[in-house]
A and B are shown apart, each in its own frame.
Chain A
C-alpha cells in the first residue's frame, strides 16, 4: 500500500473521499460542508469531486440535518451528516435518541439506518462558549448507537470507513484538539479498523492507563516521563466507547492490578466510572489499588481563560498514575 503523511482532519477527509469513490450511496451533508469544505476543512474538495447531490450544503438546522438523514438512511442511502461542533448536536438530540438509535428496534430490523453522524468535539482550542464540551457519554448511554473516537490519523480513516460500512448508526466524534497536532502514515487505499477493539499503545506492567481521543497524547507523554521514575505503565486507547472492549480492559488490568482512567468528560457519569465497574465485576481479586479517575470537573465547561485548568494535563495524569502506583 502506498501511504501519505496526514493529520487527523485530513484523514477524515481522505476516509470520506475513499468511501465515496467506492460507494455511490454514500453522501455528505451539513452546514458549510460543500463549497467551503467544512469549517475545519474535513470535507475539502469533496464538493468539486462529487457535486451538489453528494456533498450537500444544508440549511442551518441540526434536527433537520439528522432527521432527513434518518429518512434517507431508512431508504438505503448512506448519509454522513456533519454537525459543525458537537455542542450544536442538542437541537438534533431528539432525532438521535428517539429515532437514529431506535429505528432498528422499533421495526424489528425491517429498517436499519446505515448512517454516520460526525462532529468535532472536546476542548483545548480556545473556542467560544458551547464549542468545547466533551459529552460523548450522552451517546454511549443510548443503546442502538455506536460511538467511535479516534486518536491517530491511521485509526481515523480506518474507523470512519468501518463506520460508513456498518449497518448500524454510528456517532463519530473527532477530537478537534488533535485535528492538526501531528501527522501519521495513512494508506491511500481503503482499509478498516474494527469498531469495538481497543489498541494497546504502550505495553507496561505496573499500571494500566485507559484513555481515548485527545487525552491519548498527554497520557502517553505522562507515561514516558514516569518511566524515569521507574514506573512501567500500559496505555490502552479505547477507540470506541460503545461498544467497549471489555476484554482488553480486563486483560490489561489483570496484568497490572492498577488502573487510571483519563478523559476530558466530566468525572461523574463519565466512562471512568464504567471502567471502574467493569474492573470490580471481572477482576476484583487482582486489584491492588483504587481506580484513579483523571477527568474533567463536574462544572460547566469554562470559557477558555480557564480551560487549561479544566482539561487533564500531563502533570495531572502523572499525578494520577503516581497515586495509583504508590497506594
Chain B
C-alpha cells in the first residue's frame, strides 16, 4: 500500500530521533543514502558559512535553512531528471540537488541576478519572494505538461506554513485539483512565519488536512526525518506522473519541521520564541539522526564521515571564492532583460545613463 494512503493526521516516520528505525525504510540504494547524508551536511555547512558572510558584510540579507535539511534533501533527491522544481526562497539545498551551483545561490543573495540564470537543463524556477506566489506557477507548469501529453514530468513546489494563509495557496491547489495536474505541493511547516506561529496561520489541526478541501491527497510527514520525507515525496511524484485507477495526481505534503535560526538574517528569533522550544526541536536534528542510522547499518564510518567533511568544506570554500571573485554585474545589464529587445524609451535611458557614466565615472553613482 502506498505511504500516501493514510489519514492526513497520521504522521509518516521512518527514523526515531536517535536514528532507530520505527517505520518502513524506503527502497533506496546505499550510494543514494550516503549522498543524502553528504548533501545534508553540505547544506548545513553552506548555511553556516552564508550566515557568517552576511554578518561580515560580504553578503546581503539571507534566509537560513538549518534544521530543514532533511525536508529539502529528502524530497529533492526523490525527483527524476525530467521533473521540475519550483522553490520559495529558502530551498538552497534542494536547488543544489536540482543542479544550481552553490556559487549561484551565493551570487543571488549577494545581489546579482546572475544567480538566477539557470544552467541549461536545470529544471528549476527562480526563487520566489512574495509568499505563496510561486504555487500557481507550479500548477501552471504541471498543467502545461499534462496539456502537451508529457506525462513523464511532475512538478515539486515548496512553500512555508505562512504561505498556506495566502490566496495563492488556495488558488494553486484548487486549480491542481480541478485540472488534475501532476503536482506535488510541499509545505515546509517550520512552525514560524517570521515571528508568527503556525497556530496563528490556521485553526486547522494539520496543514495536510487542507488537501481535502481541494479534493487531493494530503499527507503529513516528519520533516526532520529524511527517509520518511523521501518515501512520501517519491510516492507522491510517482502518483503525479502515473496515477492508479481512481487516483488523483496532485498531493499536498506537510513536512513538520523547525528552522533553527532566524527567518532571515534581518530578524532576531530570541524575541519571539524561547530557548526551550529551540532545544526541543534541535533534539530532532535530521543530520545526526541519519548519520546514526547509516553508521548502525554499516554504510558510514569515521573515515567516510571525515572524508565527507573535508569534501564539503572544500566545496563551500570554493563556491565562496568563486562568487566573491565573480566580476560585478555590468551596469548595462539592468537595461538588457526587461524585454526581449530594448524599447525605444529604455534605449534612450540607457544612452543617457552611459553618457552620464562617461562624464561622472562610476564613482558618481556609487555610495561606497
Which B residues are in CB contact (< 8 Å) with A27?
Answer: 147
> Which B residues are in CB contact (< 8 Å) with A91?
167
User: Which of A92-100, A154-162, A255-263, A315-323 touches B?
Assistant: A92-100
Contacts of B117 in A (CB 8 A): 107-108, 110
Known: A63-B167, A64-B171, A71-B144. A110 touches B116 (CB 8 A): yes
Cβ-defined partner of B344 (8 Å) among A64, A79, A112, A246 = A246
A174 CB to nearest B CB, Å? 22
Interface residue A204 (Cβ < 8 Å from any Cβ of B): no
- 4 closest pairs, A vs B, by CB? A71-B140, A67-B136, A64-B171, A68-B140
Q: Is B126 located at the chain interface by the 8 A CB criterion?
A: yes
Establish whether residues A64 and B337, one from each chain, have CB atoms under 8 Å apart when the complex forms.
no
A47-68: contact bitstring with B at CB < 8 Å (1 yes, 0 no)? 0000001000011010110111
Chain B residues positioned under 8 Å from A112 (CB to CB): 340
Give chain B residues whose Cβ lies under 8 Å from the Cβ of A108: 113-114, 116-117, 333, 337
* B343 engages A70 (CB within 8 Å): no
How far is it, in angstroms, between the C-alpha of A246 and the C-alpha of B336 when the chains are bound? 20
Report how far A103 CA is from B118 CA in the complex, Å: 13
Q: Nearest Cβ distance between residue B29 and chain A, in whole angstroms?
A: 31
Which of chain A's residues have a CB closer than 8 A to the CB of B126?
103, 106-107, 111
Q: Which residues of A contact B145 (CB under 8 A)?
A: 75
- Flag if A77 contacts B175 (CB, 8 Å): no
* Least distance between B65 CB and chain A CB atoms (Å): 21
B interface, by DSSP: helix, strand, loop or mixed? helix
The distance in angstroms between the C-alpha atoms of A105 and B125, with both chains bound, is 13
Q: Are B143 and A68 in contact (CB under 8 A)?
A: yes
Given A58-B175, A76-B144, A168-B339, answer yes or no on A106-B136 (Cβ-Cβ < 8 Å).
Answer: no
Query: Do the beta carbons of A105 and B171 come within 8 Å of each other?
Result: no
- Please state if B172 and A243 are interface contacts (CB–CB under 8 Å): no
Q: Which of A141-182 contact B (CB under 8 A)?
A: 143-144, 146, 166-168
**For the complex, is A275 an interface residue (Cβ under 8 Å from B)?**
no
Query: Which of B114, B333, B345, B346 has the most chain A CB within a 10 Å cutoff?
Result: B345
A168 CA / B125 CA spacing, docked (Å)? 18
Q: Is the CB of B141 within 8 A of A71?
A: yes
Smallest CB gap from A282: residue in B: B348
**Residues A143 and B338 in contact, CB atoms below 8 Å apart:** yes
A-B contact count (CB 8 A): 140
- Give 1 or 0 for each of B336-365: 1 = CB within 8 Å of chain A CB: 111110011110100000000000000000
Question: Which residues of chain A come closer than 8 Å to B315, judged between CB atoms?
Answer: none
B102 sits at the interface (CB 8 A): no
User: Which residue of A67, A103, A243 is within 8 Å of B168 (Cβ)?
Assistant: A67
Q: How large is the interface on B (under 10, 10 to 19, 20 to 34, 35 or more residues)?
A: 35 or more
CB-based nearest B residue for A91: B167
The verdict on B133 contacting chain A, using a C-beta distance below 8 Å, is: yes
Is the Cβ of B171 less than 8 Å from the Cβ of A77? Answer: no
With a cutoff of 8 Å between Cβ atoms, the chain B residues found around residue A99 in the complex are: 128, 130, 133, 137
Whether A69 is near chain B, meaning CB under 8 Å from some CB there, is yes
User: Which of B136, B143, B336 has most A Cβ within 10 Å?
Assistant: B136
Residue of A nearest to B150 (CB): A75
Contact yes or no, B172 A68, CB < 8 A: yes
Does B139 touch A at the CB level, under 8 Å? yes
Distance A64 CA – B172 CA, assembled complex (angstroms): 6
- Chain A hits for B333, CB < 8 A: 108
A67 lies within 8 A of B343 (CB): no
Interface assignment of B178: CB less than 8 Å from any CB of chain A: yes
Q: Which residues of B contact A (CB under 8 A)?
A: 86, 113-114, 116-118, 125-126, 128-130, 133, 135-145, 147-148, 167-168, 170-172, 174-175, 178, 333, 336-340, 343-346, 348
A72 at the interface (CB under 8 A from B): yes
The distance in angstroms between the C-alpha atoms of A109 and B140, with both chains bound, is 19
Bound-state Cα–Cα, A51 to B145, Å: 17
A196 at the interface (CB under 8 A from B): yes
Chain B residues contacting A243 (CB-CB under 8 Å) are: 343-345
**Is residue A80 within 8 Å, beta carbon to beta carbon, of the partner chain?**
no
Chain B CB within 8 A of A199 CB: no
- Partner of B172 from the list A67, A103, A244 (CB cut-off 8 Å) is A67
Shortest distance in angstroms between A90's beta carbon and chain B's nearest beta carbon? 12
Query: Distance (Å) between the CB of B177 and the closest chain A CB?
Result: 9
Is A68 within 8 A of B136, CB to CB? Answer: yes
B141 contact set on A, CB distance < 8 A: 71-72, 74-75
- Any B CB within 8 A of the CB of A247: yes
Cα separation A146 to B346 with both chains bound (whole Å): 13
User: How far, in angstroms, from A110 to B340 measured CA to CA in the complex?
Assistant: 11
B136 and A71 contacting across the interface, CB-CB below 8 Å: yes
A53 to B145, CA, bound (A): 12
* Chain A residues, CB < 8 A from B128: 99
Task: Tell me whether A104 is interfacial, beta carbon within 8 Å.
Answer: yes
Asked if B172 contacts A106 (CB within 8 A), the reply is no
Interface string of A275-298 (1 = CB under 8 A from B): 000000000000000000000000
List 7 A-B residue pairs with CB atoms under 8 Å apart, sorted by A's residue number: A59-B178, A67-B139, A67-B168, A74-B140, A77-B144, A94-B133, A108-B337
